[in-house]
Amino acid sequence: MATGASPVSVVAAETAGTPGQFAITDREFRRFRLLVSQQTGISLGDSKRQLVCSRLARRLRHYGYATFSQYYEHLMERDPDGAELLRMIDAITTNKTDFLRESHHFDFLRSELLGPLVAGARAGAPRSLRLWSAGCSSGEEPYSIALTIVDALPSAWTRDVKILASDIDTQVLAVAMEGVYPLDRVAVVPAALREKYFLRGRGGREGFVRVRPDVRQLVRFRRINLREDAWPIRAPFDCIFCRNVIIYFDRALQQRLVARFVDLLKPGGYLFLGHSESLLGMRVGLRCLGKTVYQKVDEPVVTTAGPGAGRA
């Protein structure tokens, strides 16, 4: 889905034409809508019918199926290891993301988290830092976090900095792990940062850049389905980025996810959401600092500020 990122990969709002000879019936659409919801938590409204039709048509062609019912039966009866189910999820989900997306979040990270970290370390406090990009898409968000950290902290202090980057989509994770992007993807990055933290490709890689090793080494990528009950996560985090992800879930799942994020934050830790996302009316252990930045507090409170609200 999210910046960084558009993060769990999320279903894009797009207009899809009729995919050639394939047409999806009402019953077939209901079955796939339920399956996608069960597997990912993503809620597909009626407006996504043509999107589902066009995205899954390629999988029908792959198997030579004539109907979506045949493909659904394949998923239910002829996919014992779940490999095709993963391909279906990858096909249904898509990702809108950029480097340094919603730049105010990275300004906040630099001033409110990294600045105090430097000051505290000088006074003998621990230097460790743990962050999570939940719904990292093709990697722009976690690498934006990493280059912000590398640029702000002395190199010796980044030895105990770890960034977990996760997504449900295996294809975008493969792109993210490679860390290679067309030049136009990094055009939004200030020139000074581009020169310091990206390597220009040569020969067959001309027109591309790769994230420098000292930035890439801070990030580890894993496939995590936010809807699942068990996440392979132990250590608490100083901050969690989950931007432009929960907007695609129903309210009950949003509340559940946010509560789990709060449990995984250190006292005083931060949660960053997307500009269109709000915790309005949720009873969670967070206070809104403005511009979709939330801080963990001791007692659950009912949030009253929506997206873009001023700092409390």
Q: What CATH number did the domain enclosing 72 receive?
A: 1.10.155.10
**Does 155 share its domain with 244?**
yes
Q: What is the pLDDT of residue 8?
A: 42
Listing from the earlier edge strand, what are the strands of the sheet with 293-302? 219-223, 161-167, 129-134, 237-241, 265-272, 293-302, 283-290
Q: Which domain holds residue 35?
A: 26-92
Which structure tokens are listed for 272?
């960053």
Last residue of some domain: 92, 120, 137? Answer: 92
**Does 61 share its domain with 139?**
no
Q: Which residue's entry shows tokens 């009626």?
A: 46
d(CA 297, CA 301): 9
The verdict on residue 185 lying in a domain is yes
**Does 42 share its domain with 82?**
yes
d(CA 35, CA 31): 6
| Residues forming beta bridges with residue 189, ordered by sequence position | none
Q: What is the pLDDT of residue 93?
A: 77
**Does 123 share its domain with 197?**
yes
**Does 86 share its domain with 110?**
no
**Does 112 share its domain with 144?**
yes
The verdict on residue 294 lying in a domain is yes
DSSP string computed for the chain? ---------B---------TT----HHHHHHHHHHHHHHH-B---GGGHHHHHHHHHHHHHHHT-SSHHHHHHHHHHS-TTSHHHHHHHHHH-B----TT-SHHHHHHIIIIIIHHHHHHHHTT----EEEEEET-TTTHHHHHHHHHHHHHS-GGGGGGEEEEEEES-HHHHHHHHHTEEEGGGGTTS-HHHHHHHEEEP-GGGTTEEEE-HHHHTTEEEEE--TTSS--S--S-EEEEE--SSGGGB-HHHHHHHHHHHHHHEEEEEEEE--TT---TT-EEEEEEEETTEEEEEEEEEE----TTPPP-
**Number of domain units in the chain:** 2
**Does 225 share its domain with 265?**
yes
The verdict on residue 18 lying in a domain is no
Last residue of some domain: 37, 57, 92? Answer: 92
Residue among 90, 98, 167, 238 flagged as catalytic: 167
Q: What is the pLDDT of residue 302?
A: 60
**Does 75 share its domain with 203?**
no
Report yes or no: 14 and 93 within 8 Å, Cβ to Cβ. Answer: no
The verdict on residue 245 lying in a domain is yes
**Does 156 share its domain with 107?**
yes
Which stretches in the chain have pLDDT values below 50?
2-19, 309-312
Residue 251: which of 290, 286, 277 has the closest Cα?
A: 277
Last residue of some domain: 34, 67, 92? Answer: 92
The verdict on residue 97 lying in a domain is no
Report yes or no: 277 and 292 within 8 Å, Cβ to Cβ. Answer: yes
The verdict on residue 177 lying in a domain is yes
The verdict on residue 184 lying in a domain is yes
- In this prediction the pTM is 0.80
Report yes or no: 186 and 209 within 8 Å, Cβ to Cβ. Answer: yes
55 is annotated as an active-site residue: yes
